[in-house]
Every structure is written in structure tokens, then in C-alpha cells.
Amino acid sequence: MTANAKRFLQAMDLGAEAPAPAAPPREAKPARIRGTHIGGHFDRDFVKKFALLKIELDLDTSELIRRAIDELDARENARRAFGE
């Protein structure tokens, strides 16, 4: 687990805001691509898992959701292709 992830978990357990990461800021991205918002309501454990994945993989929320859906779609397509 990275140092950023450990600090995040400690802050969540204390009910405080997560400290700013020590890493340099990401390079600026172009303006948000117009799209549709997808959201949900999740329990605290899921939120921690999601936040840790964002930190560990260095992805923003949209990138993490896209990666998860793309991987799930590929797995389901492969399962269907092999008749499972």
C-alpha cells in the first residue's frame, strides 16, 4: 500500500479530510468531455476501496469507472464467446 493510500485511510478513520498528496500535481487536462453523469450511493467500505484504487492506479473517477466497465465488458464478451 502506498504512503498516500495509508494517509487516506488514517484520515478516513479520524473523520478528517485526506491530506494533500506529496506527489507533484498532474498535468492539466483539457476541459471535461461532454458526457452523461453516472453515480451511485455506496457504503463506507466501498468508498474506501474506490478511493484507494484511484490513488494506487493514479486515475480520476471517470478513468477508474471506464477501466472497470471496459474490463468487465471484455470478460463478459470472452465468457459468451466460449459459451459459458
The DSSP annotation for 32-51 comes to: PPP---------HHHHHHHH
Residue 56's pLDDT is what?
95
Q: What are the angstrom distances between the C-alpha of 31 and each of 26, 28, 34, 35? A: 14, 9, 9, 12
Residue 2's pLDDT is what?
79
Say what the pTM is. 0.59
Residue closest to 2 by CA, chosen among 55, 45, 44: 55
Residue 16's pLDDT is what?
55
pLDDT digits 0-9 by tens, 35-68: 888 889 999 999 999 999 999 999 999 999 999 9
